Amino acid sequence: MVVSDCDEFGVESLAVALINEFFNTCSAIHPDADSLADRVAKGPVSPAGAPSAGYLALVNRLGHDGVVASLGDEGVAFKAKRSGDLKLARAVAHPWLSSGMLSHVGVADSAEGEAVQEANVRLEQMIANGAPQVLVERATDTLSERVQEFYAALITREHLRFESRVLFSGRSVMTPNKHFKHDQIGVPEEMAWALFGPFAARELGSDIEVKKRSKKAAQVLDGLMARMWVVGTRAPALSPTSLMAFHPVRVAGDAIQVPILCSKLMDGDFDGDQMALILPVTEEGQKSAQDHLSIVAHLTRDPSLIGREKVHPMHDAMFGLAHLSMTDAGLKELEKVAGESLTRRGKFLDKKHFIALLERVRAGRGSEAALDLSERLQRKGFEAAQQTGASMGAFLGGSLDLPEPPEGDGVDEWRSYVDEMAAEVSQFNHFEDDEFGVIAMLAECGARGNWEQLRQYVAPHGLVYNAARELTPIRHGWRDGLPVDELLARTVGARMGLASALAEMIEVSRDVAKQSAPSGYGVLSRARRSDNPGVVFARAAMKGEVDLLADAYSRLFVGIVD
């Protein structure tokens, strides 16, 4: 798991205790990482304190450059010492200090470090053998280049981020589960035993039953899983709801099963998306997961999630609710579920009705009540949709009386024709029609699609730009099929759409980077802003500077939780 900057989510929303949990207590590079599972099995584990695993790794890297970082009561003090034990055959320019020269290098165990040693040995041999000066100079330049490359890899921005493998975590493909409550998530059998086995061993007083996976151990495992929280995340994590906490449930198979109500919050569309699960092992981490990352906590903190269409019944469930509400008997069923009277503004209730209903319930009875109602409506919607037996037929839209398309290629005539078709299709309201009624209701109730897409199903698509950037008419719709020349013409628009989507993704990435830009003027903050952090540390060491750790990110990176 990677979090580039805790400010990207807001320290409070992501929960300080969880950041420390994931990147310190459960970090795979923590000095005590190998014993974590055994400690969990023996009893409660306390959160790790300062210095953190990431900070220790940074200090080790800085040492190869002759920078000493010492954590004390006032903060992190930096000072300089001789760079390392490898004496260079000839001094070279310091990669980070323009006025300095390097006579020694603390070579790390890396490809770049090995390249420095090889270049240094070659230069030593040339000098010892009395090689021509021109060859010695070339070898010196090569050594200088290898030192530059070594320093460039020694300290990068990535070494100042919360980035490490997290113990007590797993990853798999996510699939939907319509039966789960909003605070439940299905954990595959093997993953469940791996993550929660040490906790079961603690409760049983031994790991013997757990290793055998006995019936008794399984009962204990399922019981404690129901009480605990696990954090799920689907990359890229671009919003607070990309990280959510659930009560885990052991399930068969290899996929992580996600409640449908949470799928849009996590931007999951179940087309092979992968999801990571991370288990907080401390009591503090468990409490933070519940208080900050449960769906109830998210909705309480941000009630606009309802209005932004994140937690209402969607797709088939919304269609089922709309279809059910068309009759008085069905409307009464929905009123019984909702606990209040409902009024149609047209032939049926649509997405806006249910969003308004959920907003009223949340405002009056709280987030938990709104989520419970959304789940009940979702179940009722799925049930109603299944009972309709609705589907799209091969002659979709055959009952529509659409105007004949123009015979020629005149641009103005085709534009007028497309507007006529759009008006004709958008006025359709015979939702009982077996052919076009189903797909029309999907668009009108807000379950899926829109009227423009519906028009393209049943009627000629109209004008598009071809590869020559000329407007050309598409005389067919999806129902009848497009010939090769029309498909090729449409490809241009598809490519432009992909380019537009890519540009939007780049813009989003820039916005995220801008919002998560490091603040503060301490050494660590300045280094995180720098394209070459090593320069910042080298200059701080030369001045004997002390980082007072005034910003939250720097304190957390060092391992100070307050």
Question: Degrees (nearest 5) of the Cα angle 419, 309, 385?
Answer: 80
pLDDT, average across residues 554-558: 91
Q: How far apart are CA 366 and CA 360, in angstroms?
A: 9
Contact indicator for 35, 542 with CB cutoff of 8 Å: no
pLDDT, average across residues 275-294: 94
What integer best gives the mean pLDDT of the chain?
89
Share of the chain above pLDDT 70, in %: 95
- Which conformational region is residue 15 in: left (phi greater than 0), alpha (psi within -120 to 50 degrees), or beta? left
What is the reported pLDDT for 513? 60
For the domain that residue 209 is a member of, what is the CATH number? Answer: 2.40.40.20
Q: How far apart are CA 370 and CA 357, in angstroms?
A: 9
Length reported for the chain? 562
The answer to whether residues 297 and 177 belong to one domain is yes
Split at pLDDT 50, 70, 90, the class of 517 is low
In a domain, 524, yes or no: no
Q: How far apart are CA 296 and CA 262, in angstroms?
A: 11
Domain boundary (354, 388, 422) is at 388
The answer to whether residues 373 and 472 belong to one domain is no
Number of domains in the chain: 3
Q: Which DSSP helix (H) or strand (E) runs through 548?
A: none
Domain boundary (490, 520, 537) is at 490
Strand partners, 184: 247
In a domain, 280, yes or no: yes
In a domain, 474, yes or no: yes
Tokens standing for residue 191: 């993953």
The answer to whether residues 328 and 424 belong to one domain is no
Q: How far apart are CA 241 and CA 262, in angstroms?
A: 9
Helical residues (DSSP H) of 395-551, grouped into ranges: 411-426, 437-445, 451-458, 484-515, 523-529, 533-543
In a domain, 245, yes or no: yes
Contact indicator for 182, 295 with CB cutoff of 8 Å: yes
Where is average pLDDT lowest: 7-16, 141-150, 204-213? 7-16
pLDDT, average across residues 22-40: 91
Give per-residue pLDDT as tens, 55-111.
999 999 998 888 999 999 999 999 998 777 889 999 999 999 888 888 888 877 789
Query: Around Cβ 124, how many Cβ atoms within 10 Å?
Result: 16
Q: How far apart are CA 25 and CA 32, in angstroms?
A: 9
What is the reported pLDDT for 511? 67
Burial status of residue 4 (CB atoms within 10 A of its CB: 0-12, 13-18, 19 or more): middle
In a domain, 237, yes or no: yes
The answer to whether residues 186 and 272 belong to one domain is yes
Tokens standing for residue 298: 């998210």
Contact indicator for 269, 2 with CB cutoff of 8 Å: no
The answer to whether residues 297 and 325 belong to one domain is no
- pLDDT of 529 higher than 80: yes
The answer to whether residues 350 and 320 belong to one domain is yes
Give per-residue pLDDT as tens, 465-494.
888 888 899 999 888 889 999 998 888 888
Selected residue with higher pLDDT from 138 and 509: 138
Q: How far apart are CA 508 and CA 506, in angstroms?
A: 5
Rounded to two decimals, the pTM is 0.82
Tokens standing for residue 431: 């939702």
Strand partners, 171: 276
User: Helix 351-365 and helix 316-324: axis angle, to 10°?
Assistant: 90
Contact indicator for 123, 136 with CB cutoff of 8 Å: yes
Domain boundary (465, 490, 515) is at 490
Q: How far apart are CA 485 and CA 492, in angstroms?
A: 12
Name residue, tokens 């399930």.
251
The answer to whether residues 264 and 362 belong to one domain is no
The answer to whether residues 330 and 454 belong to one domain is no
What is the reported pLDDT for 1? 41
Q: Which letter does DSSP use for residue 459 in this model?
A: S
- Could you list the residue range(s) of the whole structural domain that residue 451 is in? 411-490
Give per-residue pLDDT as tens, 209-248.
999 999 999 999 999 999 999 999 987 777 788 899 999 9
Amino acid at 382: F
In a domain, 134, yes or no: no
Three-state helix/strand/coil letters over 70-102: EECCCCEEEEECCCCCEEEEEEEECCCCCCCEE
The answer to whether residues 226 and 252 belong to one domain is yes
Q: Which of 103-112, 350-359, 422-431, 498-507 shows the highest mean pLDDT? A: 350-359
The answer to whether residues 337 and 241 belong to one domain is no
Contact indicator for 15, 245 with CB cutoff of 8 Å: no
The answer to whether residues 226 and 336 belong to one domain is no
The answer to whether residues 290 and 209 belong to one domain is yes
What is the reported pLDDT for 14? 53
Where is average pLDDT lowest: 235-244, 315-324, 412-421, 503-512? 503-512
Q: Report cis status (omega within 30 of 0) of the bond before 236.
A: yes
What is the reported pLDDT for 553? 87
